Structure 1
Amino acid sequence: MDATPEKNAVDMTRVSSHSDVGAIQVEKKPWWHSITVMGSTLQIIVAAILGIAIGVAVSTTVDEVPEACITILEIPGELWLRALKASVLPLIATAMIIAVQRLTDETSGAGRKLGIYTVGYYVLTTILAIAHSTVMTALVWAPRMPTASQETLALDAEDEEEYKSGTGTKVEDVVVQIFESFVPANIVHALAETELLAVLTTAVVVGFLVKPGGSLLRAVVEVEQIVMKIITFLIKIAPIGVFFLIMPNLLKLDIAIIAESLGWLIAGSLTGMAIHVTVVTPLIFFVFTRGNPYSFFLKCSPAWVTAWGTASSAATMPVTLRVAEARGVPETIRRFAIPLGTLVNMDGTAIYFPVVVTFLAETQGKSLDAGQYVLIVLLSTLSSIATTPIPASSLVLTVMIANSVGLEMTGMYGVVVAIDWFLDRFRTAINVVGDLYACKVIEKLTGITDDDDERPIDGGVDNGPPMDPMSRQEQAAQGCASA
């Protein structure tokens, strides 16, 4: 621009180098303006920080918070979470049907590339997550984990019941469960029981077979529009939901006991996740896209903050889809990659399994050998895929892996169960970040663009505004920079 604009002026940003293309007006607003926008990134972050601050402050200053108080405070967050979960099933079904229908129109092989690269990316990152977690655990954390006393190792009656519920799960059971979960024996039962992988498979088949422009496809798009309107409202009240999900849980936190009993487990788990989200996936992102992974990570904060608050990848999926839209991910890619990643991309869980099994071994005074670590890697890979995207679903599989390497459950398992809700939030955040990184990498590999998504498949129904009100302006600015 030829002149520096005055304060509060309106910038004229040209989005093309051609003289016949006009400029768009982008009003410059202060950075804090978004805090007044319902459901904005800043609002969600502030709500999460307030929830953590109040929860930790109360739990460290009050001897015991009444259980009734915690239960009542959980009500707003639980209602918001239930509403999000209710929208997930129809969202997965409609998104996959529409995405596959678009892919059937592709003549350049983009559909086949999308499937191969998406599955390949998720498998690669899962293997890398397990590999570096196992190496770090064996070399760094295992020697530092102390042996617990006999009184601590004693298994109480409640933990014994929990343990027995997982002892019947064998390795072959997990393999069978993985394959069976993709094919429903009864579609109606799969819908009623929220068997998400079975619903996803059914949606893919329907998407391939449905008649283009037919009444069924129009009905699917109409249902999706209804769901998206509901999700738009739920995202606007996300700060309230996140606050009341985080704060009551932290009221239960006893920092002194956790630091003494579980310090090395928490350190090993969080360090592995930090390595994955700051080194491994950003490196993959940069190699393929040449973009700034850390800037992208910060712009995706509504998704991973919500994931931390809900501890559920499935419940976070509506927010993840909107964040992907705001970040310019083509519609076909985000409709396909995010629902699939929500169900099978469990990098955070894959990192956690080697650490928690090693922790259970070391507290018993047992050291795992190389062969047992290899078995843990194999089982962690299968188990991370078999884990459902809901809170605390990994506990039974933890028992299965521990039994497979000859470990018995002790009282330390009860301690792990007590802290699982806390670590599960970080695992979920890592899983969601991995889905969003995947979208941009897959966009680069497949070459699918927004232009491919402009053709209507149903008479041209709008999919609603993006989550971030400034996203259109950001995309215009990015277009100006690349022109």
Structure 2
Amino acid sequence: MTKIGLLPRIGIAILLGILVGLWSPDWLVRVFATFNGLFGNFLSFIIPPLILGLITPAIAELGRGAGKWLGITAAIAYASTLFGGVMAFLVCMAIFPRMLRPGSLDEVGNPEDALLSPFFTVEIPPPFSVMTALILSFVIGIALTLMPKGVLQQGFVEFRTVIEKVITGVIIPLLPVYIFGIFLNMTSGGQVFEVIATFIGVILLVFALTVLLLLVQFTVAGVIAGKNPLTALKTMLPAYVTALGTSSSAATIPVTLRQAIAAGVRRPIASFVVPLCATIHLGGSTVKIVSFSLAVMFLSGVPVNIPLFIGFIFMLGITMVAAPGVPGGAIVTAAGLLSSMLGFTEPQVALMIATYIAIDSFGTATNVTGDGAIAMIVDRLSGDDFDVPEAQGDPVGSPA
């Protein structure tokens, strides 16, 4: 299997997970659920150090202009997120009145309730939170740009090497097994597919919107960077498929980083932009939340207050920055806005969470793939502003 590229391995894992899940006994599902629990807890543990180890030396290598590019990257990510939300709002407002009939909604359970539990779990608490890692990376990285190169910067460069060894030696080889376990449990539980069947029309529309968002993002990136947008999008496909399985932007960072470098982004800039955007760029998630919240309102017979909903989109873009890059993190973070701004009841919020989790991976896949487009833009705009050293090979393996 190691001779097969990552993209085919993930595809095989998804297919096998669905096929085996149709007949597998509960004990087999629980075996892989146990592995997934251990590996998932390890991912939660390693993600904050991964962010710190990649972003800090990348900022230091970018030099004294790094602070400016932090702001520019954040602005591009926020603009992309807002565009996705507004696009979804306009399309859904035009189509939903013809697609959905106002009326009562049947109660739909949370898909996670149907999943089998592991035999045992081992808690591996992270040393600090994702947001702490992000802010700490900014503070230390910018401080290093103001100091002569010394032991501390060299220490972070060596720490980055350690993180890259963990990525190549542990995370990427075990990702297909992890994804197999996820789809095995989902198929065995069955309820997640009931939720999908309930909203099949909305789901197809949301998928089309995420594809349209990616085409726009890579067209803009291609024009700015002077590269073929379709070729760049094809290069990012392994990250897209990996995110389909993990449903986590943070867990997909190693693959996203590798494919961004393969797309021609300089290594230090990719190491800076990709982990940052994994936390603050959630355009695909915003498309999903906006679309499904409108669907719930239409199905419930609740009138849509357009100025209020536009304000909700702008606030949602800011709230998404605080969303952890873990499965379901975006909808959990947005639940407060759904209640406070749109007046969603507790059952409506529960329905939103259930539906979102059922197809969480498509929004996440759009998020991480779009990170590659932002990396291309920042790489082009930065030009020769920074004394960026040449990459010493691909830090996370060869492209799939």
Normalising by structure 1, report the TM-score.
0.71
Is the alpha carbon distance of 1:219 and 1:38 closer, same or farther for their aligned partners in structure 2, counting shifts above 3 Å? farther
- The question of whether the paired residues in 1 share the 8 Å contact of 2:33 and 2:181 is answered with yes
Say which of 70, 76, 101 aligns to 2:29. Answer: 70
Task: Supply the AA of the counterpart residue of 1:468.
Answer: S
Give the match for residue 134 of structure 2: 200
How far, CA to CA, are the matches of 1:42 and 1:350 in structure 2?
A: 29
Give the match for residue 440 of structure 1: 376
Give the match for residue 126 of structure 1: 81
Give the superposition deviation at 1:148. Answer: 4.1
Give the match for residue 367 of structure 1: 303
Give the superposition deviation at 1:113. Answer: 5.5
Give the match for residue 90 of structure 1: 49
| Cα deviations by residue, 1:393-428 (Å, 9 ceiling, x for unpaired) | 233444333323453426454444333323211111
Task: Supply the AA of the counterpart residue of 2:182.
Answer: L
Q: Report whether the alignment pairs 1:136 with 2:87.
A: no
How far, CA to CA, are the matches of 2:303 and 2:201 in structure 1?
A: 15
How far, CA to CA, are the matches of 2:45 and 2:2 in structure 1?
A: 28
Q: Report whether the alignment pairs 1:276 with 2:235.
A: no
Give the match for residue 58 of structure 2: 99
| Percent of residue pairs bearing the same amino acid type | 22
Task: Supply the AA of the counterpart residue of 1:243.
Answer: F
Task: Supply the AA of the counterpart residue of 1:48.
Answer: I
Bigger shift: 434-443 or 354-363? 354-363
Give the superposition deviation at 1:283. Answer: 2.0
Give the match for residue 12 of structure 2: 46
Give the match for residue 13 of structure 1: none
Give the superposition deviation at 1:41. Answer: 3.1
How far, CA to CA, are the matches of 1:399 and 1:115 in structure 2?
A: 28
Is the alpha carbon distance of 1:376 and 1:44 closer, same or farther for their aligned partners in structure 2, counting shifts above 3 Å? same
Task: Supply the AA of the counterpart residue of 1:359.
Answer: A
| Cα deviations by residue, 1:225-247 (Å, 9 ceiling, x for unpaired) | 22211111121333222222233
How far, CA to CA, are the matches of 1:407 and 1:299 in structure 2?
A: 42
How far, CA to CA, are the matches of 2:2 and 2:52 in structure 1?
A: 34
Q: Report whether the alignment pairs 1:37 with 2:3.
A: yes
Matches within 5 A, 1:129-278: 129-149=84-104, 152=106, 194-210=128-144, 211-234=147-170, 235-254=172-191, 257-258=194-195, 261-278=198-215
Is the alpha carbon distance of 1:194 and 1:349 closer, same or farther for their aligned partners in structure 2, counting shifts above 3 Å? farther
Extract unaligned runs of 5+ from structure 1: 1-34, 160-190, 456-461, 471-483
Give the superposition deviation at 1:124. Answer: 1.7
Matches within 5 A, 1:319-334: 319-334=255-270
Is the alpha carbon distance of 1:213 and 1:412 closer, same or farther for their aligned partners in structure 2, counting shifts above 3 Å? closer
Q: CA RMSD in A?
A: 3.1
Is the alpha carbon distance of 1:71 and 1:412 closer, same or farther for their aligned partners in structure 2, counting shifts above 3 Å? farther
Q: Report whether the alignment pairs 1:81 with 2:11.
A: no
Say which of 238, 252, 262 aligns to 1:316. Answer: 252
How far, CA to CA, are the matches of 1:337 and 1:397 in structure 2?
A: 23
Say which of 400, 406, 421 aligns to 2:357. Answer: 421
Give the superposition deviation at 1:465. Answer: 4.6
Task: Supply the AA of the counterpart residue of 1:101.
Answer: A
How far, CA to CA, are the matches of 2:275 and 2:78 in structure 1?
A: 15
How far, CA to CA, are the matches of 2:374 and 2:267 in structure 1?
A: 14
Matches within 5 A, 1:268-417: 268-278=205-215, 280-409=216-345, 411-417=347-353
Is the alpha carbon distance of 1:332 and 1:260 closer, same or farther for their aligned partners in structure 2, counting shifts above 3 Å? closer
